[in-house]
Amino acid sequence: MEVKVKNPWHRPVVIFLACVITAGIIIMVAISVVQYKPLHQKYKYGIVLDAGSSHTSVFIYEWPAEKENNTGMVRQKHTCNVQGKGISSYSDNPMGAGTSLKDCMEEAKQKIPAHRHHETPVYLGATAGMRLLKMENEEASEKVLDSVARSLKDLPFSYQGARIISGQEEGAFGWITVNYLSENLRKPTGTLGALDLGGASTQITFVPQQEIESHDNSIDFRLYGNDYHLYTHSFLCYGKDQALKLSMGKKIESTPKADETHPIELRDPCFHPGYNFTRTAQTVFNTPCMKKVKMANENFFHVGTGNWSQCRQSIRKIFNTSYCPYSRCSFNGVFQPSVSGNFGAFSAFFFVMDFLKLTNDSLDLTKQKLATYCSTPWKEIAETHPHINKKYLSEYCFSATYILTLLEDGYKFTSNNWNDISFIKKRKLTIVLDEADVVVQTTPKSLHQAEVIAVGAVADVSEYLHAIFQIPSIFGK
């Protein structure tokens, strides 16, 4: 039997209620949309490209659009490593430098909300690889910079510049980053010195306990209301890749040729026994860090002998400690006050010492372990680490010996203050927002030009972004 139900929609009261409910829903949705919008628009963004000698990294930063409290608020949202080598390797094909950035910049477009694109500043800072290219071939370096600039200007972001930063700036950024990460700048505690080892240059920066005798090594700036007076020096050609060339070049030059028909045999204590490759001299001498030699087109045999103390002796030869026009020097006639306080050593200092598990020992034990490592046959090393790039793997004995020699003979660290050096991974800032207590957590690898942006975020990121690459506004004046 069919039950007849009266259609409820015909009843005025029900219609009225339905209208009220619908209106309520609409209002609620409208309110939540309006409230959600600022939430959605909560962040602003900045992009920095750190164009190093060995590779380029793209960093995306985010920070709250409205700064309500005074906490450190910048977060590294995303990092992208550009495929291939650094931009300075494109000297023969400048267009390739710009093109190489495309994939990472496409990622940046995905990571940053479209409505923020046009106001997102993008900077590129190039370091020692481009400094060397500029010395060698200024026109080529300009073409490379033009190419990356063009590629960045093609994007929807707000292009701010692409330039080679100075060694002093690089040193200062490294120091600021290390101290920002450890929150030292906003605590009354002491600061941490910074040791940065790149592929083509190395920087040392710290608060000195004595007067700085050379103007070039002094930087002054103010951060969070505190004035800092720092010693800094950047040694061009003393990054680990260039130092290897310097050291091999010196050995090749002093190796006599057995006869005209046979290539030179370079017996190299910094490479493992059983390591034996033929190379062209070009791979060693293709740098403005050394005088050009006639033999650049010739081959030589590179033969490892794996002897740590001889390796150290050979590396010492690239440091000139025979003259010093100041009260004291590191090497090559460069003024340096005695190292004091704690230091954070990052980039290749960390990559190398971490790989060899040498980050926590006394100086003596480090040397003993390294001596054993260097004398280990190449075959055994290669079998133990089948997945590590063979070129990198073959160089760890040299690199670690170089690091010890640079720190001990170069910067004058001793077994007494060796443990004042912490080998630190550069860290990604993940700062918990909206908390009175700012929590800084850290995750792997990032680079300093980029991270220094974070420092300014507390005051005003956009202004600071500008300040970073317009150095007189924060330094020197």
Ligand X SMILES: Nc1ccn([C@@H]2O[C@H](COP(=O)(O)OP(=O)(O)OP(=O)(O)O)[C@@H](O)[C@H]2O)c(=O)n1
> Which residues would be at the binding site for Ca ion (CB under 5 A)?
52, 127, 198
Strands 43-51 and 121-126: parallel
- Least Å distance, CB 107 to ligand X, is 19
Report which of 38, 34, 46, 39 is spatially closest to residue 111, judged by C-alpha positions.
46
Q: Which is nearer to Ca ion, 52 or 208 (CB)?
A: 52
HSE value, Cβ hemisphere, 13 Å, CA-based, for 441: 5
- Least Å distance, CB 110 to Ca ion, is 26
Report which of 82, 74, 124, 85 is spatially closest to residue 107, judged by C-alpha positions.
82
The entry of Ca ion, ligand X, none that residue 94 binds, CB within 5 to 8 Å by partner kind: none
The amino acid sitting at 234 is S
Q: Which is nearer to ligand X, 76 or 120 (CB)?
A: 76
The token duo for 429 is: 């800032």
The entry of ligand X, Ca ion, none that residue 77 binds, CB within 5 to 8 Å by partner kind: none
Orientation angle between helical segments 348-355 and 390-405, nearest 10 degrees: 110
The entry of Ca ion, ligand X, none that residue 71 binds, CB within 5 to 8 Å by partner kind: none
- Least Å distance, CB 125 to ligand X, is 10
Kindly list the distances between the CA atom of residue 348 and the CA atoms of 148, 238, 250, 352, 354, in Å, as whole numbers in the listed order: 25, 12, 23, 6, 9
- Least Å distance, CB 399 to ligand X, is 7
Q: Residue of minimal CB distance from Ca ion? A: 198
* Adjacency order of strands within the sheet including 343-347: 218-223, 226-236, 201-206, 193-197, 343-347, 421-423
Q: Which is nearer to Ca ion, 86 or 94 (CB)?
A: 86
Does residue 464 sit in helix, strand or coil? Answer: helix
Q: Which is nearer to Ca ion, 125 or 193 (CB)?
A: 125
Number of helices and strands (H, E) in the chain? 14, 16
Contact set with ligand X (CB under 6 A): 52-55, 86, 127-129, 198-201, 239-241, 347-348, 351, 392
Strands 264-268 and 75-81: unpaired
Please check whether residue 304 is in contact with residue 378, taking contact to mean a CB–CB distance below 8 angstroms. yes
298 is catalytic: no
Please check whether residue 120 is in contact with residue 152, taking contact to mean a CB–CB distance below 8 angstroms. no
Does residue 324 sit in helix, strand or coil? Answer: coil
- Least Å distance, CB 35 to ligand X, is 44
Q: Which is nearer to ligand X, 307 or 394 (CB)?
A: 394
- Least Å distance, CB 324 to ligand X, is 25
Q: Which is nearer to Ca ion, 198 or 344 (CB)?
A: 198
Q: Which is nearer to ligand X, 120 or 405 (CB)?
A: 405
Q: Which is nearer to Ca ion, 71 or 201 (CB)?
A: 201
Q: What is the dihedral of CA 387, 389, 391, 392, to 10 degrees?
A: -90
The entry of ligand X, Ca ion, none that residue 128 binds, CB within 5 to 8 Å by partner kind: ligand X
The amino acid sitting at 414 is T
Q: Which of 62, 170, 395, 451 is catalytic?
A: 170
CA 266-294-279 angle, 5° bins = 35
The entry of Ca ion, ligand X, none that residue 87 binds, CB within 5 to 8 Å by partner kind: none
Kindly list the distances between the CA atom of residue 147 and the CA atoms of 87, 152, 154, in Å, as whole numbers in the listed order: 10, 9, 11
CA-CA distance, 50 to 59, in Å (whole number)?
8
- Least Å distance, CB 377 to ligand X, is 21
- Least Å distance, CB 392 to ligand X, is 5
Catalytically annotated residues: 170
